Chain A
Amino acid sequence: MSATRMDLRKLELIGIAIIAVLILVVLPLALDAFRLNLVGKYLTLAFVAVGLVLCWGHTGILSLGQGVFFGLGGYCMAAFLKLEASSPANTKIQSTPGIPDFMDWNQITEIPWFWVPFKSLPATLILVLLVPAALAFILSAPMFKRRVGGVYFAIITQAMAAVMTILIVGRQGYTGGINGITDLRTLLGWDIRPDFSKYVLYFVCCFLLIGCIFLARYVVGSKLGRILVAVRDKEDRVRFSGYDVSSFKVFVFCLAASISAIGGAMFTLQVGFMSPSFVGIVPSIEMVIFAAVGGRHSLVGAVAGTLLVMWGKTLFSESFPELWLFAMGGLFIAVVLLFPRGLAGLFTDQLLPRLFNMRFFGRSGERVSPAPAE
């Protein structure tokens, strides 16, 4: 077992290298600026999938509200960019110059207190990581302390996603409502809209993603990672061994939230807006499917799954819009019924053994079952 474990870790390194070459070299050379920007958008969602591999695949915490964390990261970044774009010089036609346009339309004359910290970039960057982690902590700490898990946790995170969407849409004066925060222009005076800036942001996004994968890989490979897997498989036994299970779960949930938020912030920078359509229930469940398609235990798989599903979505909805939902629905069912370990599982269980006569898991191997029964 320990030998195959080492082999799998090595294999994962090769996988990360392949993904890195693909997104850093192959795609930028093969695609035009518009398509590359699209891939950059997909990659920001891959951050969420990486977070889900940590908290769902490795710890057994299924969250149906990861879109909330993605959105919070995105909104923090958007708030900074919006304040910069609403300088008194840019907004002198408004009745109150110097505040974002949607606030002006909603008869707000002063920047609300929770917008004030976003005037500074360092504060914004810290808040991008802290705000989602704080919400994740508030949500998860009382629940895991009381040993609420599995299905119940999933439903409550889903309700959280619903609350967040209703709040953002309902409080138009503070959040931009259903349109979101749009018309973002510059980052510290650097115009983010031309093609060249998009290229730069794409590479920043790639490096951050690879960094997050290595961070997650470090967590998974450390002693902490072993405990997390043990919690997933037999939570009670870990508790009886004297570990404070809830703290581990809270930590990994907050970490996943912060990683998702980095994706959200990069999304805002690359796409130039943030809206509630990435926060709610539907996008949150789609994010879970990215991780499921790629393989819920595999960090590389999560990125591959995100790229494949999003690419399929773009392709299908361009040419056969009515087929897209059928294909997506079929994908959900197929992943669950036919290959619960996702693409990464197909690769290590089917393809490699046939090619190289290697076997990583026993025929009745203990890790073949995808998720423990609650």
Chain B
Amino acid sequence: MFGYTFGELGSILAMQTFAGLILFSIFLLMALGLAIIFGQMGVINMAHGEFMILGAYMTYLTSHVFQNYAPGLFGGYFFVAMAVAFVVSGALGLLVEWALIRHLYARPLDTLLATWGLSLILQQAYRSIFGPREVGVTLPDWMMGSLPVTETIEVQINGLFVMGLTLIITGIVALLLFKSKWGLQVRAVTANRTMSGAVGIDTRRVDRLTFGLGCGIAGIAGSAFTMIGSTGPTAGQLYIVDTFLVVVFGGAQSLLGTIFSALTISQSQSTLEFFLTGSMAKVITLLIVIGLLMLRPQGLFVLKVRK
């Protein structure tokens, strides 16, 4: 088959699945923040990619601080960087919600235009501050290299790390949404905003925290990206379509749907990439998603909400 032996084919399949799993982790990390914002609040945040890039730049800065002032602790800088990325992106998210988004809750399509404007401003700000070229971070030694599983199969440690990170963050978000008081309030506001307000939930505050948290998670996602690729001022725009499709395909209000659609899209893309060129794999994946959305417009998993 295709000129490979069965053993080789098995290894290729395993490696391809692993690559697909890394892609899945990235998609899921990107989509989580957006799923919270779009799914729960109905706000289209086109600047989501720029919030991720902010997290990536924060990681870049943190790595420099550690390199110059605390080289002995360099191995652990990544954990500090993620915290910084979360706090800075989340804080910017809160600010943006206060200055921009809260005026537009009744007009979801207008949030799209306004946040697109925001994304242009952020892109130019990154270009002015960090320069137009792509920047990469130095990984600590323990994250480099790969683990051999069998003679022909090996997995990258940074890939494994991203996967673990995704697992943990998804778990935290699920706990927050389904076990905390705040999560209960978010779900109540999603189901019926007026009624939630009537029973004493401060819907304004819930919205602001939700938006801030979504942006903070985007920051962590961006931080995780730096382990895999480099970061430039316009990198955020590349991901925005994929991310939105993952969220919409899964069913905007369902966390499980987001996870499942990220898995479907990433696996189909990495499998197709083996047979076709990268760009054609992408085209076919996007077309399949568009086609399925036409058949099932609410996405894979529908949450029953009374409107």
Q: A: which residues have CB within 8 A of B?
A: 62, 64, 142-143, 146-148, 150-152, 154-156, 158-160, 162-163, 166-167, 169-170, 281-282, 285, 288-289, 292, 322, 324-326, 328-333, 335-337, 340, 370-371, 373-374
Contact = CB atoms under 8 A, between A and B. Distances in A.
Contacts of B295: 142
Given A143-B294, A322-B128, A170 B116 contact: no
Interface in B250-307: 277, 279-280, 282-283, 286-287, 289-290, 293-295, 297
A332 B244 contact: no
Given A333-B114, A340-B110, A281 B104 contact: no
A374 B124 contact: no
Given A150-B109, A166-B279, A170-B283, A158 B241 contact: yes
Contacts of A324: 124
Nearest to A325: B124
Given A329-B120, A330-B121, 7 more contacts: A148-B294, A151-B112, A155-B44, A162-B241, A169-B279, A340-B107, A374-B108
B100 interface: yes
Nearest to B38: A151
Contact of B237 (A281, A332, A370, A371): A281
B109 A374 contact: yes
A328 B123 CA distance: 12
A154 B107 contact: no
A322 B294 contact: no
B245 interface: yes
A159 B245 contact: yes
Contacts of B100: 333, 337
Q: How large is the interface on B (under 10, 10 to 19, 20 to 34, 35 or more residues)?
A: 35 or more
Interface of B: 42, 44, 100, 103-104, 106-110, 112-114, 116-121, 123-124, 127-128, 237, 240-241, 244-245, 248, 277, 279-280, 282-283, 286-287, 289-290, 293-295, 297
B286 A163 contact: yes
A255 B245 CA distance: 27
Contacts of A156: 248, 290, 293-294
B114 A332 contact: yes
Contact of A163 (B42, B108, B287, B294): B287
Contacts of B289: 159
Given A162-B241, A163-B287, A333-B114, A151 B108 contact: yes
A41 B304 CA distance: 49
Contacts of A333: 100, 114, 117-118, 121
Contacts of B120: 325-326, 328-329, 332
B104 A336 contact: yes
Contacts, number: 127
The 3 closest A-B pairs by CB, nearest first: A332-B117, A329-B120, A329-B121
Contacts of B237: 281-282
Given A162-B241, A325-B123, A373 B117 contact: no
A167 B283 contact: yes
A297 B282 CA distance: 37
Contacts of B244: 155, 158-159
A32 B87 CA distance: 54
B277 A371 contact: no
B112 A370 contact: no
Contacts of A289: 113
Contacts of B114: 332-333, 336-337
Counting chain B CB atoms within 10 Å of each CB, which of A62, A156, A329, A373 scores highest? A329
B283 A163 contact: yes
Contact of A373 (B106, B112, B119, B290): B106
B266 to A, nearest CB: 16
B113 A166 contact: no
A166 to B, nearest CB: 5
B107 A373 contact: yes
Contact of A154 (B112, B245, B279, B282): B112
A115 B290 CA distance: 26
Contacts of B116: 285, 332
A322 to B, nearest CB: 6
Nearest to B127: A322
B15 to A, nearest CB: 24
Contacts of A170: 277, 279-280, 283
B108 A152 contact: no
Counting chain A CB atoms within 10 Å of each CB, which of B120, B287, B289 scores highest? B120
A150 B117 contact: no
B121 A326 contact: yes
A371 B117 CA distance: 19
